[in-house]
Amino acid sequence: MSAPTTPTTAFALALLSLEGVGRVTAHRLLERFPTAEAVRAAPREQVLLRLKGVAHADRTVAAVCAPSFEETLDEARRRLDALRERQIHVLTPGAPNLPAGLDALDRADRPVVLYAFGDLKALGWPSLAVLAAAPLAAEPFERAQDVARAVLGRGRGLVVGAAHGVDLALQKLSLGAGVPAVAVVGAGLARLERSMRPGATALTRAGGLLVSPFPMTHGPFEHDDRERALVQAALGRAVLAVAPPPGSPEDRAAAWATSTGRPVALLPPAPPEADWADSAHRVIEAEAVAEMVA
């Protein structure tokens, strides 16, 4: 069964369908006005003040207040009904299952809509976000699995990617340990690589969850890896960065995690050019990383 939707869910989808409305505009509106009715009931000056500095704010508010916006909302509701039939969860600001960790992301990076398939309870599991991109050398590949085993052995979960290599290996370790995993897809859920689908099916049947910050048929595009890595880091209570190349999405997501005060471990140590906080530490013992996942 898909997660129940709220009036904000349809409003968020409808907002994003308007020309010129992106994440920053949508978040700034939704933080104060959770529905179209709330926008219309407020003095126009108050709404525009909320959007101060946003391009085309007048046009956006006028579009929401126009009678034709009801058709846009109806279309959003139809899309939600279709997704519900496919058992796709659609999480928007204010939804009880939307992970609080995402709030630490800047508005420009924070998803307005999070799409998910599987058991939403996996989002509440204390988890380690493992940031690793294929291909990995043999040593960091094996050490990442050692850390994962230590985390899983304590009954903690993993937040991984949804690609071949270390992501798939860690998904299999989670299945073997009987601990739900969360896999973040770097494209829309419908664009998950075909060869990864059997593993994704096994993951969700075992209580895990696939999530994506992108619309269902979006991508895949290489430039979206940055956002995927940030969402992955935001969903973990702690982060393990595995041999991240300087400037890579994983490197930048790990740097972001240290800036928020999240515990971050490195395998091996940070690249020379890394802009990470001194609080990030090198992994010496796998158990030490497991202890970071409260």
pLDDT digits (tens, 9 = 90+) for 2-60: 666 788 999 999 999 999 999 999 999 999 999 999 999 999 999 999 899 888 899 99
pLDDT: which is higher, 245 or 111: 111
Q: Which residues contact 92 (CB under 8 A, 6 or more apart)?
A: 6, 8, 9, 12, 13, 30, 98, 112, 113, 114
Quick one: pLDDT band at residue 294, thresholds 50, 70, 90?
Answer: confident
Work out whether strand 157-161 and strand 181-184 pair parallel, antiparallel, or are unpaired: parallel
Three-state SS sequence of the chain: CCCCCCHHHHHHHHHHCCCCCCHHHHHHHHCCCCCHHHHHHCCHHHHHHHCCCCCCHHHHHHHHHCCCHHHHHHHHHHHHHHHHHCCCEEECCCCCCCCHHHHHCCCCCCCCCEEEEECHHHHHCCEEEEECCCCCCHHHHHHHHHHHHHHHHCCCEEEEECCCCHHHHHHHHHHHHCCCEEEECCCCHHHCCHHHHHHHHHHHHCCCEEEECCCCCCCCCHHHHHHHHHHHHHHCCEEEEECCCCCCHHHHHHHHHHHCCCCEEEECCCCCCCCCCCCCEECCCHHHHHCCCC
The CATH number assigned to the domain with range 120-290 reads 3.40.50.450
Q: What is the mean pLDDT of residues 207-211?
A: 98
pTM for this entry: 0.94
